[in-house]
Chains A and B, each alone.
Chain A
């Protein structure tokens, strides 16, 4: 049977070129980068080269990059790090559609006397920059708004938000896990103080990420230890992972423009033809969206059934239905853009990647309408929620 992977927002395969570059760092160049001997120096050198590559893809300086274990840790370090470094400022601003790594970190801070403003979004999932401006108070220590949403693909106006924060003297963090390597990011032009990225979303290995920390921004570290990464992230560096991340960032830098254009073509055809299915709707912004994201909801059917049927046809996709979540709650993102729970339950996310071809899109467009039809035959709802 065909095996078509369309869940690249969840994770990506490691690019074979990346794997080849990583390989010697497991068995030959395994030195601890903190040690001054040749083995250590080898690791240190490779790590610093990776730092340059990771920085370049967001137009930062290498001195501004701290390697972490991934997106979740970077979000935690940014948010808790700023909150703890600014004990007099006990207010944060974020949005209702952030990744749980941001939302739950903010909720955690609420337990310790911080207050958090969760900004709403419009029906496309866009945060209004003026809402950010209006929410800023003298005691605001941080604004954290994602660069692009992982579920619906909407790209946020982070340049405008960065400008507002910079003018008001408030630090600005953005979770760019989904945006990095897919759309251009310029931390200086966009006035970003802190930016979260992850390796495994850009064809690098899992277990490694980074936080960009603008020169001059003070953070309190989360881990106490040997003082690695300028004291901000203690723990022996994951050199092989970091080398892989650097290689992936370098490839993305070179190939992003061409690959994005290719993905946009595939995505737009997928969206256009899927929407010819009766009672189907697009989630997210029609144009301000990630090149690889197609997100829908189908009335009268449930998403986990939908992705199970797709799985039986060899297609890997994702849903924001309650039935596929650990909490049995529908996606907070889909509710925030105004979907009713029963609408969110019928959601389907297809996120494309490097190996997906026009033929893959043809295949999805061939089987998806049949599956929707099958499930609607089983459903008691016939053309209306009654």
Chain B
């Protein structure tokens, strides 16, 4: 068991220990959800959309609620840090590899948590875009 913890990077552990983006955005513009408690992880991401100086839509605020292990919770934090302030177009391009690279070393068996992060964020953006139509 402890051996597995050894595989987490210091950064992932730090994010897990002091999460900064936990919570719900009550009037969220987009909500994404992925995963299943049966499998051991579920992520929910809330985004608030604003505009940058060039008039492009950006992720103005982002929060998450996650049920899962250290890998899932640190991936949630990581994706929030990566996505915040980015244009929707840029944020939608964040990959699981980007999240894993940001966290440092992710145990191979936990890589799916980075995929979960990527998909949840994309769902939240798509939710906003579909509502806008």
On A, residues with C-beta under 8 Å from B are 7, 10, 300-302, 304-305, 307-308, 311-312, 316, 318-319, 321-324, 326, 328, 330, 340-342, 345, 377-381, 385
Structural contact, B5 and A323, CB atoms closer than 8 A: no
Structural contact, A341 and B4, CB atoms closer than 8 A: no
Check: B55 CB closer than 8 A to any chain A CB.
Answer: no
A306 CB, nearest partner CB in chain B, Å:
9
Check: B71 CB closer than 8 A to any chain A CB.
Answer: yes
B34-54 residues with Cβ-Cβ distance < 8 A to A are 37-44
User: Lowest 7 A-B CB distances belong to which pairs?
Assistant: A380-B65, A323-B69, A342-B37, A304-B69, A380-B44, A322-B40, A379-B67
Structural contact, B37 and A328, CB atoms closer than 8 A: no
Structural contact, A302 and B65, CB atoms closer than 8 A: no
Known contacts A307-B1, A324-B4, A380 near B42 by CB under 8 Å:
yes
Check: B17 CB closer than 8 A to any chain A CB.
Answer: yes
With a 10 A CB-CB cut-off, give which of B39, B69, B110 has the most chain A CB atoms: B69
Structural contact, A323 and B71, CB atoms closer than 8 A: yes
Known contacts A341-B40, A380-B44, A302 near B22 by CB under 8 Å:
no
Structural contact, A326 and B109, CB atoms closer than 8 A: yes
Tally of contacts, chain A with chain B, CB under 8 A: 79
Q: State in angstroms the CA–CA spacing of A328 and B33 once bound together.
A: 21
Contact with A along B57-84 (1 / 0, CB 8 A): 0000000011111111100000000000
Check: B128 CB closer than 8 A to any chain A CB.
Answer: no
B114 CB, nearest partner CB in chain A, Å:
14
Q: State in angstroms the CA–CA spacing of A321 and B2 once bound together.
A: 14
Q: Select which of B39, B65, B70 is within 8 A of A308 by beta carbon.
A: B70
A330 CB, nearest partner CB in chain B, Å:
7
Structural contact, B69 and A321, CB atoms closer than 8 A: yes
Q: Can you list 5 A-B contacts with CB-CB less than 8 angstroms, sorted by A residue number? A: A302-B40, A308-B70, A323-B40, A341-B37, A380-B65
> Closest residue to A343 on the B side, CB-wise?
B37
Q: State in angstroms the CA–CA spacing of A342 and B39 once bound together.
A: 7
Contact with A along B76-120 (1 / 0, CB 8 A): 000000000000000000000000000000000110000000000
Structural contact, B38 and A380, CB atoms closer than 8 A: no
Known contacts A326-B109, A378-B65, A379-B67, A305 near B73 by CB under 8 Å:
yes
A268 CB, nearest partner CB in chain B, Å:
26
Cβ–Cβ < 8 Å partners of B13 in chain A: 308
Cβ–Cβ < 8 Å partners of B42 in chain A: 380-381
Known contacts A308-B5, A308-B16, A323-B71, A378 near B39 by CB under 8 Å:
no
Structural contact, B69 and A328, CB atoms closer than 8 A: no
A383 CB, nearest partner CB in chain B, Å:
13
Structural contact, A381 and B37, CB atoms closer than 8 A: yes
B25 CB, nearest partner CB in chain A, Å:
13
Contact with A along B1-12 (1 / 0, CB 8 A): 110110000000
Cβ–Cβ < 8 Å partners of A324 in chain B: 1, 4, 69
Structural contact, B5 and A341, CB atoms closer than 8 A: no
Q: State in angstroms the CA–CA spacing of A341 and B5 once bound together.
A: 22
Q: Select which of B4, B5, B16, B67 is within 8 A of A381 by beta carbon.
A: B67
Cβ–Cβ < 8 Å partners of B66 in chain A: 378-380
Q: State in angstroms the CA–CA spacing of A340 and B39 once bound together.
A: 11
Cβ–Cβ < 8 Å partners of B109 in chain A: 326, 328
Known contacts A302-B41, A324-B4, A342-B38, A380 near B17 by CB under 8 Å:
no
B55 CB, nearest partner CB in chain A, Å:
33
B73 CB, nearest partner CB in chain A, Å:
6
Cβ–Cβ < 8 Å partners of B39 in chain A: 322, 328, 341
Structural contact, A377 and B22, CB atoms closer than 8 A: yes
Structural contact, A304 and B67, CB atoms closer than 8 A: no
Q: State in angstroms the CA–CA spacing of A10 and B33 once bound together.
A: 36
With a 10 A CB-CB cut-off, give which of A324, A378, A385 has the most chain B CB atoms: A378
With a 10 A CB-CB cut-off, give which of B22, B33, B67 has the most chain A CB atoms: B67
A384 CB, nearest partner CB in chain B, Å:
11
> Closest residue to A376 on the B side, CB-wise?
B67
A338 CB, nearest partner CB in chain B, Å:
15
Cβ–Cβ < 8 Å partners of A377 in chain B: 22
Cβ–Cβ < 8 Å partners of B16 in chain A: 305, 308
Structural contact, A300 and B5, CB atoms closer than 8 A: no
